[in-house]
Amino acid sequence: MLIRKISKCIAAVLVYIMCAYGYLTTKGFVYDGNHFILSNNAEAWENSEFQISEDEIRGLGDPNSPLTMYTISAVTCSHCRDFHKFTLPKLERDFISKGLLRFVYIHFPADETTMRAAKLSYCLPKDKFYDFIADLYDSRDWQFSRNEAILENHAKKFGMTDADIEQCKQDKKITSDLLRIRENAFKAFHITATPTIVVKTQSGENVVEFNGYDELKQYLDTQLPQ
């Protein structure tokens, strides 16, 4: 009996550690072997190519822009929210609106809630994708409720009906596509935190870490064709 109780305790601890690790990494932390730390060193390094079809892309800006930025994000991640809310408008002003950068949001769902939100975003028309993401980041009600109707009400604000939502729930292809994209991003860029910022240039794809927008802008400026 004692051995059985000890085994149950060990199993419970392992489950807790795994859940805690998943939660912290989606909040923008990296485990360095001893502690969870925020990853914000200013550097970039090359990785294997990321594969995503044009149909699966939800992009802002000219597809023919010399630079493409993938942001691997979770809609429940506070650091992703900050990037979307404060950094993306500056990127739109300085790069996207000038045809210098294409911005692509990549979902990295870590649990059932983020997967439901990601699926709804893909079921909406492409031109409503980013407005829906912004609405989710501006709201907290849906994140901490088990009532799926709260999240679904956000989708309804963008024109989805109950029938649309039910059809979206049953769409296994979207689920499969999102999981494949997530797995592909994980393998290509060794994702340890969200958001992970990847910049694609003519010479390849780089994971970019930076401390503040000025550093990011400086890096992007150096990557533009001369």
86-108 in b/e burial notation, b at 16+ Cβ within 10 A? Answer: ebbeebeebbbeeebbbbbbbbb
pLDDT of residue 42: 42
> Against a cut of 0.85, is the pTM above it?
no
Q: Is the pLDDT confidence value at 142 over 80?
A: yes
Q: Quick one: how far is CA 151 from the chain centroid?
A: 18
| Per-residue pLDDT reduced to its tens digit, 14-67 | 334 444 444 444 444 443 333 333 333 444 444 456 778 788 889 999 999 999
Residue 58 near residue 211 (C-beta atoms within 8 A) = no
* Residue ranges of domains in the chain, CATH in brackets: 2-223 (3.40.30.10)
Task: Count the Cβ atoms, other than its own, within 10 Å of residue 209.
Answer: 18
